Amino acid sequence: MNPRIDTDEARELWLHASDEELKERAGQVRARYHDPDRATYMVMRIINYTNVCVAQCDYCAFFVLPNQDGGYVLSRKEVFAKIDELVEFGGDLVAFNGGFNPKLPLDFYCDLFAAVRARYGERVEFYALTIAEFVFLADRARIDYAEAAARLRDAGVHWITGGGSEILTEDFRKRHAKWKYTVRDYFDAQRAIVEAGLRTTATMVIGFDETLDERLEHLQRTRDFQDEAGGLFSFLCWTYKPYGTAFGGREIAPREYWRHIALSRIFLDNVKHVRTSVLTQNEDAFRALDYGADDFDLPIEDEVTQKAGATIDLDLEALLAIPRSLGYTVEYRRAERPAALTA
Ligand code: SF4
């Protein structure tokens, strides 16, 4: 078994390893957790309950400011209709993701999540918020992260995901998202979430202007967090969609994404699942299974990435045929309930 690599070794691998070597090394780490010929997936929907946001990230094509036309907040009825439609598609996971809407207090979210839990029970699991939104809500409510996490947990929340992380370096945040949160805030909040008994995940987005060192810093911080606090169920990486954003730019090539998935799988030897992004890579996402990924979503909606150029294919059987053609058995994976909350 290869020992854990540090960032210098990761840099060497990135710069000099062949695709075959990366695949092999990533496959060795993947095999510690998963059957090499098996992949798991979920059918899910991201519900963008509001597009009003004051964070103004320059890579976002989704938000409108509070005083601009076109802002919305979904009604409870609209949220339920979207969940019902997901269930008809055979899905059981919702991820709520909206903007930093200053008119929506923490109580709005607690009421919404309690209503979703009351209506669907354990039949549908939901990722309630991203850490980015969680930090904003706690700050607005003037309560600490521990109290915010406890209030959400008491409202029926099981998961607050690591979404909205993009690249976790302070420099990246100053360049692109200075109103969002600091990296320190991010991990302080995630630690409180774990300590409250909730589950969480790690995410990463590549393809902006981040340097190799910034990518490695992100991976290092993620691995350190998992060593110290635990609680990261999975690591999902997707790619920046540049269309309609203030920052602009071009999309990276699939091969760069696959190589990054492999490097992440090798580096994050303490995270069970490495997930590939069908939402941003479409059919190219499945090739990442050869580079160490073991799990993926089939999303039926995400307005945030769709506004920036993502396309969603609703022919789920045609999509599942692709990993099968690559030699994988694919199995549906139900969203897990945190052990700490299991009766
Ligand atoms: S990425 Fe999220 S936090 Fe940033 S502007 Fe868009 S909606 Fe707001």
Helix (H, G, I), strand (E, B), or coil: what is residue 45? strand
Q: What sign has the CA pseudo-torsion 96, 293, 207, 282?
A: negative
As a whole number of Å, the end-to-end CA separation of the chain is 38
Distance from the alpha carbon of residue 204 to the mean position of ligand 1, in angstroms: 15
Q: In whole angstroms, what is the distance from residue 129 CA to residue 118 CA?
A: 18
> From the alpha carbon of 60, which atom of ligand 1 is closest?
6
**16 alpha carbon to ligand 1 midpoint, in Å?**
35
Tokens representing residue 259 in the block: 């190589």
* Ligand 1 pocket check for 181: Cβ under 6 Å: no
What residue type is assigned to position 114 of the chain?
A
Which one of 180, 182, 208 would you pick to mutate in the ligand 1 pocket, going by the greatest count of ligand atoms within 8 A of its CB? 180
pLDDT of residue 194: 97
- What pLDDT sits at residue 337? 63
What gap in Å lies between CA 218 and CA 164, rounded to an integer?
13
Q: Which residues contact 134 (CB under 8 A, 6 or more apart)?
A: 145, 148, 149, 152, 160, 189, 193
Question: Hey, what amino acid is at 210?
Answer: E
- pLDDT in 10s for each residue of the chain, 343 residues: 678 999 999 999 999 999 999 999 999 999 999 999 999 999 999 999 999 999 999 999 999 999 999 999 999 999 999 999 999 999 999 999 999 999 999 999 999 999 999 999 989 999 999 999 999 999 999 999 999 999 999 999 999 999 889 999 999 999 999 999 999 999 999 999 999 999 999 999 999 999 999 999 999 999 999 999 999 999 999 999 999 999 999 999 999 999 999 999 999 999 999 999 999 999 999 999 999 999 999 999 888 898 998 998 989 999 999 999 999 999 999 877 655 544 3
Q: What is the pLDDT of residue 343?
A: 35
330 lines ligand 1 (CB under 6 A): no
63 pocket-lining for ligand 1 (C-beta < 6 Å) = yes
Host H or E run for residue 52: none
- What predicted TM-score, i.e. pTM, was given to this entire model? 0.96
Placement of tokens 């995410």 in the chain: 203
CA–CA separation, 141 vs 144, rounded Å? Answer: 9
H helix count then E strand count, the chain: 13, 9
